Every structure is written in C-alpha cells, then in structure tokens.
Amino acid sequence: MPAQLAQRLVLYCGELYRVSAGYGLLRIQAGMAYVTQAGQDRILPGGQELQLDRATDIALISSIGCEPVVLELFEPQK
C-alpha cells in the first residue's frame, strides 16, 4: 500500500520548516532543499525522497538559494 500524502507545502527563500516526528517520508517535488535530522545534513534536489527517522524528534528543512521548495510529507505506512 503506498504512503498517504498528509501535507504539501512551499518554502520560500529564507524560510525554515520544522517537521514534527510522526511523518514517514519526505519528498522534494521542486527546488533544492537542505534537510537536517538527528545530526545529519542532507541536500535533496527535486524528485528525491528521504525516509524520516520517526525515533528522532524533528527534521528541519530550508531552501537552498532563492528558488522555492515544494515538499510533500507522507504518513508512515502501516
């Protein structure tokens, strides 16, 4: 069963989004994102997905450059 889309949002230049624990998957639809979770930093271009660590409290996401980032958050699979 595919993961259920829970939220889709746009981050603009200079914005930081805090993803609370509980989401299972993050997908970057457009733009380039900087993602920090559990002390690990990742750069994700559009089309990339990241399995979130639900044991960790939060993930922080921001855009790289001034191009907006469109991101999707998915419920964990059951």
Q: What element of type H or E holds 68?
A: none
Element (H, E) at 1: none
Select from 43, 14, 46, 6 the least CA-distant residue to 29: 46
Residue type, 60: L
pLDDT tens digits along 1-29: 567 899 999 999 999 999 987 888 999 99
> 3-class SS at 22?
coil
In CATH, what number does 9-72 get?
2.60.120.10
Neighbour tally for 74: CB within 10 Å:
19
So what's the pLDDT on residue 2?
Answer: 62
- How is the chain split into domains, by residue range? 9-72
State the pTM of this model. Answer: 0.86
* Residue-wise pLDDT tens digits, 35-64: 999 889 999 999 999 998 877 778 999 999
d(CA 70, CA 12): 9
